[in-house]
Chains A and B, each alone.
Chain A
Amino acid sequence: MNRARRIRLQLFRGVTFVIMGAFFLVPIAGMFEFSTRGRGLNAPRTLEAWTSIVTYPDLVAAIVASLELALITSVGMLLLLVPTMIWVRLRLPELARTIEFICLLPLTIPAIVLVAGLVPIYKWIAINLVDSILTLAFAYLVLVLPYAYRTLYAGLSAIDVKTLSEAARSLGAGWPAVMWRIIVPNMSVALLNACLLSVAVVLGEYTIANLLNYVNVQVAIQLLGRANAGVSIAVAVASLLFAFLLLVVLSFVGRPRARVARAEG
């Protein structure tokens, strides 16, 4: 590479990173700034908006509900997806394509379309079973399917499921033992990644909760935004930071596996 071109390239990279960095950081800085504003024109900076989060019982209830939903969705996702994926890999390879297609389908069906079909189903559930915000976990499990599937698929591809299970079977292990004592411990990183992604998706979900008339944390932030913008923006920043934290954890925990997955994919 000649000198002039190298300089031009470095110049291009520098300018791009600075402009993009500004575009992505300034709105987040704007939220921080807004959430620390005092009342009145020249009031000093204050953390009042942050400390008063706990004085809004509806908001606290919504935060708790969203955290519970994240937990239920993650556990449900693992219980539904992990045994099925292992089973399909070992005993039903002819079903693998179908499972993949179904799991990636929610990427093509917009949440707003899905919710149009979910309205009658949730009406039925609310009348005949139970009317609780926690029933949203049923829909959220569908939303996290593509992300969880890809992560778990990468984890499963990184280990030799067939050899492991045949070895375990020949030593006398039953199928439950093969799954929970042999395969699951060998893909713990992928399980953790799938959980973290599910938590991030659930905590950021707005469309389905809003249209099914349940107040999760995002809907609560939106409702509160009309009455007290400072507090709702403080919660928004907090939820954003939490998501960042989760994904930073994910990028550190999941690195070796991710590389294996890329080499295979």
Chain B
Amino acid sequence: MTLAVDPSIKLETARRPLGGGRRLNADWLGAVPFLAYVGLFLLLPTAIVAIGAFVGPNGVTLANLTAMNQAYIVRSFINSVVLAAVSALVGAVFGAMLAYAVATGNPRSVLRRLVTSACGVLAQFGGVTLAFAFLATIGGAGLIRVWLLDRGIDIYANGEWLYQLRGLVLVYAYFQIPLMVLVFLPALDGIRPQWREATETLGGGTWHYWRYVAGPLLLPAFTGATLLLFANAFSAYATAAALINQGSIIASLLIANTLTSEVGLHNPGIASAEALVMVVIVAIVMVLYAQLQRRTAGWLR
């Protein structure tokens, strides 16, 4: 097929925007390396997962998603949600207590700096090292376990719970509590002593202060931080993988096992669908978190 186009007309129409847009084009060029890189190693893998969930051996299909209702997959996700929720609540309550203990001290003290920098490290701490720390402490031949055993207390009298969901809750607390301190401390710092004085002037006691003043003010921040902790625990893989060698008791282990198993090699769509379910849950939680953060930010400044 040939098109009879007068080249001079084409040039005429193309030249003007080129002259006016040259500066803009050159400016955009500066962002190209970055956009290309994240396109290749962040957006492309995400797209592969999102699209892969709808692709089977014979083309486009919903079979991968309908396969998600298999009992073992549903159980993994339920376990993950329960684990994430419990460890988020545990982390939020104890983290808030620690944050309150820090916030009520001298803001320039060494203790506060020590706790906040330690929390910065420990919130990132996870994986093999964390699993080993607990194995060396309360594992079969661990320090505390043996010490208690010498005194006639067997912490594993009812089974080795360290390698089950209950154990993961305890181990996850090790990074959830510090994360809570980091996220919740700014909110506690935003509390003014004058509010308490005002409550007392009006005849209110400690209960009234927490129930009607500090509690409602801190609730959005607390809920938001708990959601962040939930997402954090829900997407964690390394710690559980290092602690639990076999089985897919939680969703992240399930995805890993599907990826490396026969099923995954023959049909990567199943792993993609599992990953998609996970990322959708995390995304919903994070959007809620962002909303609550925005509400808190109003009076924090």
Binding site for B on A (CB under 8 A): 5, 9, 12-13, 16-17, 20, 23-24, 26-31, 33-35, 80-81, 83-84, 87-88, 91-92, 95, 99, 102, 105-121, 138-139, 141-142, 145, 200-201, 204-207, 210-211, 218-219, 221-222, 225, 229, 232-233, 236, 239-240, 243-244, 247-248, 251
Interface flags for B179-222 (1: CB within 8 Å of A; 0: not) read 00000000000000000000000000010000000000000000
A240 touches B235 (CB 8 A): no
- Residues in chain B near residue A24, CB distance under 8 A: 118, 122, 174, 178
Min CB distance A24 to B, Å, is 7
26 contacts between A and B (CB under 8 A): A9-B104, A13-B104, A17-B101, A24-B174, A26-B144, A27-B133, A27-B136, A30-B133, A30-B144, A34-B141, A84-B31, A87-B30, A99-B31, A102-B43, A113-B46, A113-B49, A116-B275, A117-B46, A117-B52, A117-B275, A204-B127, A210-B256, A219-B128, A233-B132, A233-B136, A236-B132
A229→B259 CA distance, assembly (Å)? 28
B44 A204 Cβ-Cβ under 8 A: no
Nearest neighbor of A25 in chain B, beta-carbon distance: B118
- Give every chain A residue within 8 A of B231 (Cβ-Cβ): 108
The dominant DSSP class at the A interface is helix
- B252 close to chain A: CB less than 8 A: yes
Chain B: interface size category: 35 or more
Contacts of A218 in B (CB 8 A): 127-129, 238
CB distance B94 to A206 under 8 Å? no
Q: Is the interface of B mostly helix, strand, loop or mixed?
A: helix
**In the complex, what distance in Å separates the CA atom of A218 from the CA atom of B239?**
11
Mark each residue of chain B from 101 to 133: 1 if its CB lies under 8 Å from any CB of chain A, else 0.
100110000010100011011101111111011
CB contact between A142 and one of B31, B42, B101, B125 (< 8 Å): that residue: B42
* A31 near B268: Cβ-Cβ < 8 Å: no
**In the bound complex, do residue B142 and residue A117 qualify as a contact, i.e. CB atoms below 8 Å apart?**
no
**A30/B137 in contact, CB under 8 A:** yes
The segment out of B9-17, B32-40, B61-69 that lies at the interface is B32-40
Contact at A116–B113, with CB atoms within 8 Å? no
Interface string of B42-74 (1 = CB under 8 A from A): 111111110010000000000000000000000
With A9-B104, A81-B34, A233-B132 known to touch, is A117 a contact of B45 (CB < 8 Å)?
yes
Across-interface contacts of A120 in B (CB, < 8 A)? 48, 268
Q: Is the CB of B118 within 8 A of A117?
A: no
A31–B136 touching, CB < 8 Å: yes
Tell me, rounded to whole Å, the shortest Cβ–Cβ distance linking A125 to chain B.
10
